[in-house]
């Protein structure tokens, strides 16, 4: 059995704006989805996860089902068993769909010796996200493949973010497809209002590039908080997210904002050296689930070749 894993991510800047070609800065985090694969004798496709045990099934396991179909371009896949285990909550804005897609492609890449490069994996994973979600940017799949801190669309690796990251999960399910659609509608109804907002979100990533290399988290934090206000303006906030954002800021976070599509899902806070626990407690007291994590430089990786 071959096992590969891929990380989730948080957005420091730029979700939604990146769909319209503006810049975003995204950071891989040490929360991973593991995918194990082995050939099965009975020429049967089996996909197992907390969502259940299915065959090729575009309702229950859409990403992995499309992965198998796409990988048939490179290999003669007949019978295979795929087991998914994830530290990433589904539909929470932490890039769980990108991580399962990227880890599945790499696991099958190894099992069938397809010879796909990392660039090839990122590209195939992005094609699959677009098939499932509609208008998806390459951000989540690229960062999950490459790891580190990445500026999109430039695909430029920045220095690692060297401070604790606290994620707060509202446990309210959010559909990326629906939220991206809502923003598209708002943009087409009020182009003169919404386009400048998306442009200004992109400008924050441009300003932050230099700040990341200087490790100036205080100024990065000020910009992240402005980004949060603009995400609220384009309608992707919610009472639950705001409550966690203000709880984190009130307990000393450098910054706190939505990460990912919004609506529900997760917020992200940058913490100082000694206050990640305080921020996590404040998030929990405000009704969220807190996870303290770190930026990781490692993208998709082989965990084991046997057993």
Rg (CA), the chain: 19
Of the two residues 15 and 240, which places its CB atom closer to ligand MEV in the complex? 15
Examine residue 194 and tell whether it contacts ligand MEV (CB under 6 A): no
Of the two residues 8 and 164, which places its CB atom closer to ligand MEV in the complex? 8
User: d(Cα 184, Cα 54) in Å, to the nearest integer?
Assistant: 34
Examine residue 293 and tell whether it contacts ligand MEV (CB under 6 A): no
The β-bridge relationship of strands 24-39 and 80-86 is antiparallel
Of the two residues 111 and 223, which places its CB atom closer to ligand MEV in the complex? 223
Examine residue 280 and tell whether it contacts ligand MEV (CB under 6 A): no
Half-sphere exposure of 47 (CA within 13 A, CB side): 20
196 known member of a binding site = no
Distances (CA, A) of 26 to 40, 50, 101, 152, 153: 37, 27, 18, 8, 11
HEC assignment per residue over 207-269: HHHHHHHHCCHHHHHHHHHHHHHHHHHCCCCCHHHHHHHHHHHHCCCCEEEEECCCCCCEEEE
Considering the candidates 76, 140, 159, 216, report the single residue annotated as catalytic.
Answer: 140
Distances (CA, A) of 119 to 19, 43, 101: 20, 30, 14
Whether 140 is a known active-site residue: answer: yes
96 known member of a binding site = yes
How far is C-alpha 179 from the geometric centre of its chain's CA atoms?
A: 15
Of 67, 71, 245, 261, the residue at the interface with ligand MEV (CB under 6 A) is 261
Stretch that binds ligand MEV, among 15-23, 28-36, 106-114, 246-254 (CB under 6 A): 15-23
Is residue 185 a contact partner of residue 177, using CB atoms and an 8 Å limit? no
143 known member of a binding site = no
Minimal distance, residue 233 CB to ligand MEV, in Å: 15
Examine residue 25 and tell whether it contacts ligand MEV (CB under 6 A): no
Examine residue 18 and tell whether it contacts ligand MEV (CB under 6 A): yes
Residues 67-126 touching ligand MEV, rule: CB under 6 A, are 93
Which residues are marked as active site? 140
Which residues of the chain form contacts with ligand MEV (CB under 6 A)?
15-16, 18-19, 93, 136-137, 139-140, 176, 180, 260-261
């Amino acid at each position: 059995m071959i096992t590969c894993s891929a990380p989730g991510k948080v957005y420091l800047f730029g979700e939604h704006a990146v769909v319209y070609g503006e810049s975003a800065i995204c950071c891989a985090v040490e929360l991973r989805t593991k995918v194990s694969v082995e050939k099965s004798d009975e020429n049967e496709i089996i996909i197992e996860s907390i969502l259940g045990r299915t065959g090729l099934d575009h309702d229950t396991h859409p990403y992995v089902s499309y992965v198998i179909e796409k990988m048939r371009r490179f290999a003669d896949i007949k019978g295979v068993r795929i087991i998914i285990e994830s530290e990433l909550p589904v539909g929470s804005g932490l890039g769980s769909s990108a991580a399962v897609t990227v880890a599945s492609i790499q696991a099958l890449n190894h099992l069938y010796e397809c010879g796909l490069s990392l660039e090839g994996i990122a590209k195939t994973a992005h094609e699959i996200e677009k098939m499932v979600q509609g208008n998806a940017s390459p951000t989540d799949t690229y960062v999950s493949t490459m790891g580190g801190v990445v500026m999109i669309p430039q695909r430029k690796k920045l220095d690692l973010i060297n401070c604790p990251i606290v994620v707060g999960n509202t446990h309210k399910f959010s559909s990326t497809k629906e939220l991206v659609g809502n923003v598209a509608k708002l943009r087409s109804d009020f182009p003169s209002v919404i386009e400048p907002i998306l442009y200004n979100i992109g400008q924050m990533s441009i300003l932050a590039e230099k700040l990341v290399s200087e490790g100036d988290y205080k100024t990065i934090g000020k910009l992240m908080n402005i980004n949060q206000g603009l995400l609220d303006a384009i309608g992707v906030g919610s009472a639950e997210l705001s409550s966690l954002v203000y709880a984190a800021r009130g307990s000393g976070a450098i910054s706190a904002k939505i990460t990912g599509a919004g609506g529900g899902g997760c917020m992200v806070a940058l913490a100082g050296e000694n206050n990640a626990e305080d921020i996590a407690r404040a998030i929990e007291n405000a009704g969220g689930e807190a996870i303290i994590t770190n930026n990781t430089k490692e993208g998709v990786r082989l965990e084991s070749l046997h057993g």
